[in-house]
Chains A and B, each alone.
Chain A
Amino acid sequence: MAQAGKGRLNYRCPSCFMRDLDIDMFYDKEKDEYYCIRCQYTGNEKDVLARNEMVRTRYGAMNKRYTRFDFD
């Protein structure tokens, strides 16, 4: 089995991101999957992107435009 490398983009581990860890994943060409060397996450690009959307659920106001910043 050949060594892993970086994928098309520097996808980070979505599982670690949810615990505030920013870790690039490595890409296993033979299995067509990204994997994290810190935790046990593995997944293909589609799965990574889907989990990145889950990451965003913490940002409840991500798409909101605020016009007031006080409560006066």
Chain B
Amino acid sequence: MSEFILNVIHRPEMVPEYSATVTGHGKEEDIGDKKLLTESLDIFRTQQRLAHENGLKVTIHMTYAALFNKEAVEIAKHDHETYGDEIALSLLGLPCEEFREKYKTKDFCIWMFSIEDKKRIVDDVFGKFHDIFGFYPESTGSYYMDADLTNYIKEAYPSVKCAIATCWEEGPKAYHTCNNSWYTLFDGGPWAPWIPSKQNTHAPAADESEDSGIVAIPHLSRDLLACYDGNGSNFGTHPQNVLRGMIYDTKTWEFPYLYNLIDQYRAQEKYNNGYAYNMMFVGPGWMNKMGRWEAPYELLLKSYSDGCKYYGDLKKAGRLTDMTMSEFADYYRKKKTYTEPECALWRDILYGSDKQVFWYTDPYMRAGVSMDQGGAVFDLRPYAAKLKWEVGIGTKHVQDASYPFLIQEKYRAGYFTHYAGEGTIRSAKLSYRGEEVDLCLCRTKAHFSQEGSTRILTLDPVTIEFSDLKVTLQTKEYFEEGRGSIRIERTILNMSRPDASVELNEYMTACYGTTEYPEDMSGILLRCEGAEEKAISYEYRCREESLTGASAVSAVIPAIETKVSMTASDTALGYIKEGYAFSPMFTLGYKKNITDKEVFSTWLRLEKAD
């Protein structure tokens, strides 16, 4: 039976994040402005009403400021008793007079505080919550929850079992979109609920020993194609996102994109053992009476009203189950195993391109595959390393909470580069009599299937045309649960000249980083493993080595404690390539001459480096 689960979350922020630059423009800052507080509460009430009118349960994320507001507390208690809403505690919405006075800072993102302050603030807000409600919350959250923060909360307040813990691909792209003024840098996480590891929030736990003790949910459910290339805040299951992206008809105020987005998430149950998930999380800031961006208040109200109605109608039709966050955590624990991956086969629903991508996440990796580039892996995060990556003041990463990539085609190019050098991608090239074709130029579509615990992508065959030879090739990609590997199988279905032989070059060009800018590659160790081992310690000297029959070709990247390797199904020439300053990459690969009907597989493996 398929299930589509929805979490609706409202956050009674007393001083909305945008108020200083929008409603407060031209005035001296007044964090205790009574008019602002009254309007914020009115908006919260409206949001609650719209959800309840449509039969939807809400998780109310009380902010620190809301805990000082009797009216907000009364609304929460009333709606808990009347509608079954969960009263939870947000670590967003810290700013208020009481917080400023106590902590003497304007910082408001919990993951950016020092670990000492994180603990102080958590104790403060959890204690205040307990004073008011008489119990500790079961759910909490922020835009991002770093592992140290989560571990502390779980240790001190074991009742917590669910948390909003990241926002999918909210990183440098969001930063740039906000004119480099919005410091939410946490690319590289899951897009759907997961159990975070104790070591790193983004990387799911592989077993009980790694289990942080919470079920994490993403902040909104975001478009898995549009968000990778653009501003995440334009393409999510928050009506404001859709308005912010100007994705509505200005004459009719209709926005079918939001419903396409919700429906595409519903369709993901096909790839996840009958389960799909959505999350809608709103604060009051976007719905203020002055309008937001180009949208007047009436359109803001309509968008949330219509959004709630769409979910409500799905519920009435028996196609949606609404849950509170803590109910969802219980459901998820029963439904999922640690190693079960989250899969998404996703198409473009906005630009009209028919592009299709596949996303895969498990405790060992997150990978993105582009069918528009012949099944190339265009994003790869080595979760197998379970990288300890402390964030906040006093650490090496005050703001940057992203999980590092090995491949990221937008930040480090992909197939296409300007004039020189290479970009990160895992693809293959076919060569024949001096001509070379990369499968990145072969547009195709994929079909999903599952055999046992292996998820399989079967791509429609593509034809490579050389001047006097046509080769029809099919790619299948196998994601083996619990193995930290991707097997890519190429089958030559047909050659126009059956006696011809072409060279297949399976390759991965990679580096590491979290932003667009290059990192120091010195000391990365490249190896052709086998009887006669060959190695290159990275010095930007453009060197290459190869070994016939290599048992593996590998790279150890000490900075991210990761080993990545490739192995082959048959004897082939393994090779390693060092980059140079203008192309700070490395390449691992295998070359093999193949003929008609031949099948050749390679495995990409990720491990934690010793």
Contact = CB atoms under 8 A, between A and B. Distances in A.
A5 to B, nearest CB: 6
B346 to A, nearest CB: 8
A49 to B, nearest CB: 8
Interface in A1-36: 5-6, 9-12, 17, 20-24
Contacts of A10: 22, 291-294
Chain B residues touching A, majority SS: loop
Given A24-B21, A69-B264, A52 B349 contact: no
A11 B244 contact: no
A60 B260 CA distance: 14
A5 B263 CA distance: 41
Contacts of B231: 20, 22
Contacts of B260: 64-66
Given A22-B179, A53-B250, A71 B25 contact: no
Contacts of A67: 263
B445 A71 contact: yes
Query: Which of the listed residues A22, A38, A59, A67 has the most CB atoms from chain B within 10 Å of its own CB?
Result: A22
Contact of B26 (A6, A53, A58, A71): A6
A9 B294 contact: yes
Contact of B356 (A53, A55, A71): A71
Interface string B152-180: 00000000000000000000010011110
Given A12-B294, A22-B231, A72-B447, A65 B356 contact: no
Contacts of A6: 22, 25-26
A6 to B, nearest CB: 5
Given A55-B246, A62-B247, A70 B447 contact: yes
Contacts of B62: none
A61 B356 contact: no
Interface in B552-590: none
A6 B26 CA distance: 8
Nearest to A37: B179
Contact of A63 (B26, B233, B249, B263): B249
Contact of B350 (A12, A61, A69): A61
Nearest to B266: A69
A60 B351 contact: yes
Contacts of B353: 60
Query: Which of the listed residues A6, A9, A10, A56 has the most CB atoms from chain B within 10 Å of its own CB?
Result: A10
A53 B248 CA distance: 10
A20 B102 CA distance: 38
B248 to A, nearest CB: 8
B348 A61 contact: yes
A65 B246 contact: no
Contacts of A61: 348-352
Given A21-B176, A65-B259, A59 B26 contact: no
Given A61-B349, A70-B267, A71-B447, A21 B22 contact: no
A16 to B, nearest CB: 8
A18 to B, nearest CB: 11
B256 interface: yes
A70 B293 contact: no
A9 B23 CA distance: 11
7 contacts: A21-B177, A52-B294, A56-B247, A62-B350, A65-B260, A69-B267, A72-B447
Closest 9 CB pairs of A and B: A60-B352, A61-B352, A71-B445, A69-B267, A65-B256, A66-B260, A69-B264, A9-B291, A6-B25
Given A5-B25, A52-B294, A69-B349, 4 more contacts: A10-B292, A24-B293, A56-B246, A61-B349
